[in-house]
């Protein structure tokens, strides 16, 4: 059965909240029923049919096309697949529990916040607080896998609790800030103050940060066997993540942040 496709009828002048459109929420509905669903554009409530041309079969795959102002794509989804042709807005995959979201372009701020499971793939760049905590919350990403082929903004993995974030390009400032657990890998360069407030977890860097916080201790160079297993797993994800396959798991290890207990680690590939 063909995917259920939503194509914007005309250029959006305000942001659109598409949290009501996930595979489980439209399951069992006819196309006419889906068109009459309420949806918010800015501070107005309209129907899905007013904003989108809805076509295709009702299946567990949804496709959005023609708009970069879609917020809350896949929010809370627990099954199926969502694909966005082009860019998406803020809060992509927040509180996601399972399933798959694929964005061919870039995403805005707070993508994968509170994510508990599933996979989010971003073909372009990601905004600030990727996999981080929403304002007022004490936990960020809590499971699942995020792949960003481009760059990520500041504070990626802020208060991250579990899961993995793989950034194919560069990461901004304060990457892994206040990180509680989980794994972040950055294949490009990394900004200043990496690991600020980090309590546990692993930040793996392909390139050494220009400056390391003074609250991180140099622990020497090691060959860590668990990295070999990670590299084999990431080899199935394609470039650039597959480039580590067969590489030596030799790293420089730094422990910190000593101001927050000092049990987190920054690993720099050697």
Give me the number of domains the chain comprises: 2
Same domain (yes/no): 79, 11: no
CB 72 within 8 A of CB 81: no
Determine, yes or no, domain membership for 180.
yes
pLDDT value of position 66 = 80
Same domain (yes/no): 230, 118: yes
Determine, yes or no, domain membership for 67.
no
- Give the number of other CB atoms < 10 A from CB of residue 101: 28
Kindly state the DSSP code that residue 68 receives in the 8-state scheme.
S
Same domain (yes/no): 91, 179: yes
Same domain (yes/no): 47, 77: no
Q: Which two tokens stand for residue 121?
A: 């793939």
Same domain (yes/no): 78, 158: yes
- Rounded CA-CA distance 164/183 in Å is 5
- Rounded CA-CA distance 149/52 in Å is 29
Q: For residues 147-159, b (16+ Cβ closer than 10 Å) or e, as one string?
A: bbbbbbbbbbbbb
- pLDDT surpassing 60 at residue 42: yes
Q: Per residue in 103-140, pLDDT tens?
A: 999 999 999 999 999 999 999 999 999 999 999 999 99
For the chain, give the mean pLDDT. Answer: 95
pLDDT value of position 11 = 87
Q: Region 84-93: what's the mean pLDDT?
A: 97
Same domain (yes/no): 56, 78: no
- Rounded CA-CA distance 230/204 in Å is 11
Determine, yes or no, domain membership for 23.
yes
- Give the number of other CB atoms < 10 A from CB of residue 11: 9
Same domain (yes/no): 176, 265: yes
pLDDT value of position 59 = 83
Tell me the HSE value of 56 on the side-chain side, using a 13 A CA sphere: 17
Determine, yes or no, domain membership for 80.
yes
Determine, yes or no, domain membership for 65.
no
Q: Structural domain of residue 253, as residue ranges?
A: 72-269
Same domain (yes/no): 37, 76: no
CB 154 within 8 A of CB 136: no
Determine, yes or no, domain membership for 66.
no
Q: Per residue in 208-259, pLDDT tens?
A: 888 899 999 999 999 999 999 999 999 999 889 988 888 899 999 999 999 9
- pLDDT surpassing 60 at residue 50: yes
pTM tops 0.85: yes
**60, 80, 99 - which closes a domain:** 60
Determine, yes or no, domain membership for 128.
yes
pLDDT value of position 1 = 56
Same domain (yes/no): 88, 213: yes
Q: Which two tokens stand for residue 252?
A: 């420089």
Determine, yes or no, domain membership for 145.
yes
Same domain (yes/no): 262, 159: yes
Same domain (yes/no): 26, 128: no
Q: Region 134-159: what's the mean pLDDT?
A: 96
Tell me the HSE value of 111 on the side-chain side, using a 13 A CA sphere: 32
What's the Rg (C-alpha) of the chain?
20
**15, 34, 60 - which closes a domain:** 60
Of 195, 111, 108, give the one whose Cα is nearest residue 159: 195
- Rounded CA-CA distance 68/248 in Å is 40
Q: Per residue in 171-211, pLDDT tens?
A: 999 999 999 999 999 999 999 999 999 999 999 999 988 88
Q: Which residues pair with 102 in a beta bridge?
A: 83, 121
Same domain (yes/no): 130, 227: yes
Residue 120 DSSP SS3: strand
């Amino acid at each position: 059965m063909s995917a259920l496709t939503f194509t914007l009828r005309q250029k959006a002048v305000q942001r659109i909240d598409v949290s009501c459109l996930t595979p489980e929420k439209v399951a069992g509905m006819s196309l006419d029923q889906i068109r009459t669903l309420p949806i918010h554009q800015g501070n107005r409530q309209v129907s899905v049919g007013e904003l989108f041309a809805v076509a295709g079969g009702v299946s567990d795959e949804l496709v959005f096309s023609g708009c970069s102002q879609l917020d809350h794509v896949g929010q809370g989804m627990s099954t199926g697949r969502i694909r966005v042709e082009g860019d998406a807005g803020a809060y992509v995959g927040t509180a996601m529990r399972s399933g798959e979201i694929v964005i061919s372009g870039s995403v805005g701020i707070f993508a994968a916040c509170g994510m508990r499971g599933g996979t989010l793939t971003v073909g372009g760049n990601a905004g600030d607080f990727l996999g981080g905590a929403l304002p007022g919350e004490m936990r960020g990403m809590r499971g699942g896998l995020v792949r960003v082929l481009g760059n990520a903004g500041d504070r990626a993995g802020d208060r991250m609790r579990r899961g993995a974030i793989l950034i194919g390009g560069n990461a901004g400032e304060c990457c892994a800030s206040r990180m509680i657990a989980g794994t972040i890998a950055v294949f490009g360069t990394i900004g200043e103050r990496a690991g600020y407030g980090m309590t546990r977890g692993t930040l793996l860097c392909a390139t050494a940060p220009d400056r390391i916080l003074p609250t991180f201790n140099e622990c020497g160079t090691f060959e860590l066997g668990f990295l070999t297993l990670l590299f084999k797993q990431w080899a199935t994800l394609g470039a650039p993540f597959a480039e580590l396959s067969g590489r030596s798991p030799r790293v420089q290890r730094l422990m910190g942040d000593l101001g927050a207990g000092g049990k987190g680690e920054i690993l720099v590939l050697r």
